[in-house]
Amino acid sequence: MAPITTNTFVENAAGNDDPPAPVKGLRRLMWWIVPANLGIFLIWGAVPGILLPQQIAVLFGEENKLATYSVIATIGAFAAMVAQPIAGQISDRTRSRYGRRAPWIMLGALAGALALVGLAFASSVVGLIIAWTLVQISYNFAQGPLSAVMPDRVPLKRRGTFAALSGIGLMVGAIGGQIVGSFFFHSITLGYIVFAVFAVVILGLFVAFNPDYPSTKLEREPFSFREFLSTFWVNPVKHPDFFWAFTGRLLLYTGYFAVTGLQLYLLTDYFGVESPESVIPLLGMLSLVGIIISTLVSGPLSDKVGRRKPFVFASAAVVSLAFLLPWFWQDLNAWMIMTFIAGFGFGMFQAVDQALMSEVLPSAKSFAKDLGVVNIAATLPQTLAPGVAGAIALAFGYAALFPVAIVLGILGALAVWPIKATR
């Protein structure tokens, strides 16, 4: 049987079909996805988790920081929600000698670097909103096409392992960003510049060492404004698995990041830590150890047993139990224990989540667009959850965050149950 070509795959395949082999081999791609995700998610960990809230506290004072941060984070989150599916559709329709994804990965990284520099020098609420919104749009234009690499190039039987490696880059970036960001606690401008340069270099190397097939021979589809508007919609009746996968990810991510995304203010205002920058690196390491252990075990194990759902259910249970600790025990030790246990639980979910998502995509013609839609469920909580959590904390106190997060996590796991495309 002749090997499938890129043109044939794009025209006829869905997410549960095997794609053509990568140009430079699967092994190279699998290892390079770790630093590629790291380059983007270091920014998602450091900026909204450390640098931006500290910048706001310095500029506007302790009494105004929470409300100001909530507004800025919420507006930026909606920009991310709009940007990634649009970037995905543009990427799907791109015809170039470098393929459909590489041009936008690089343009997003370069534009994001400029936006981070602008954020570093912003000194008003309006300036911060504009700069942070541009950061969100730019890096989501890189992240959307990057997420399509799995269904574009990775066979079904290796997606659990690929998702685990991708998840390591993602979570090491998100948590490690807080660790590294804490080193720039008193040098915010330098921190922004360092993260901007790192992302450009790493994503540039990913594109250079993992070339894609040219997309110049793919048929050009006529532009339709109605189709463009459909960027933000996948029919839940026609594609129920996609709907349930989206809902499950949205709820699970929102629950997790509603607590962890507000860590800086929880440490200072809930636990009374006077120098949070001295504690954050240790907390980050505890979380990373838990995440890496569970991710490395869960991803390959899910490939071996051919099941994804049990890992999602176990993840929700472990994270929910972890959040009980700081809710009933208002002490820094409880937060440290919770950080490790919750990291372990969330790593289980992250290890299989991308593989599960890739298997419910409707068509290879729109992988990046559909992943852009479903990635709203990952990106939006990481940026919106701190803002929503800030509003909850303002209204009901910080302790109210924990039961809300527990309920969301359990509902997210239950949402995965009806999916039929994967077990």
Q: Which helix (H) or strand (E) holds 321?
A: helix 309-328
pTM value is: 0.73
The reply to whether 9 falls in a domain is no
Amino acid sitting at position 231 = T
- Given a cut of 60, whether residue 408 has pLDDT beyond it is yes
Residue 10 lies in a domain: no
State the pLDDT at residue 342: 87
C-alpha pair distances (Å), 50 with each of 44, 47, 398: 10, 6, 18
Read off the pLDDT of residues 39-60 as tens digits, 9 standing for 90 and up.
999 998 899 888 999 999 899 8
Asked, for residue 422, whether it belongs to a domain, the answer is no
Q: Which two tokens stand for residue 399?
A: 């302790």
Domain count across the chain:
1
Average pLDDT, the chain: 80
- Does some domain include residue 220? no
Q: Quick one: pLDDT band at residue 361, thresholds 50, 70, 90?
A: low
- For 93-125, the pLDDT digits (tens) are 888 888 888 999 999 999 999 999 999 999 999
The pLDDT of residue 16: 53
Between 194 and 17, the more confident residue is 194
Domain that holds residue 288: 17-215+225-416
Across 183-207, average pLDDT: 94
> For 128-145, what is each residue's pLDDT tens digit?
999 999 999 999 899 888
Dig out the tokens for 361 from the structure: 């995509």
Residue 98 sits in a domain whose CATH number is: 1.20.1250.20
Given a cut of 90, whether residue 194 has pLDDT beyond it is yes
Residue 1's pLDDT band (boundaries 50, 70, 90)?
Answer: very low
Residue 423 lies in a domain: no
Q: Quote the crossing angle between the two packed helices 125-147 and 65-92, to the nearest 10°.
A: 40
Residue 258 makes CB contacts below 8 A (sequence gap 6+) with: 381, 385, 386, 388, 389, 392, 401, 404, 405, 408
Higher pLDDT, 218 or 406: 406
Structure tokens at 117: 């520099």
Contacts of 294 (CB under 8 A, 6+ apart): 343, 344, 345, 347, 348, 351
CB 355 within 8 A of CB 16: no
**394 falls within a domain:** yes
Look at residue 5 and tell me if it is in a domain. Answer: no
Query: What pLDDT, in 10s, does the model give residues 273-300?
Result: 777 777 888 888 888 888 888 877 777 7
Assess if residue 241 is contained within a domain: yes
% helix, strand, coil for the chain, step of 5? 80, 0, 20
Taking Cα atoms as reference points, which of 136, 86, 84 lies closest to residue 115?
136
Tens of pLDDT, residue by residue over 219-234, are 776 666 666 666 565 6
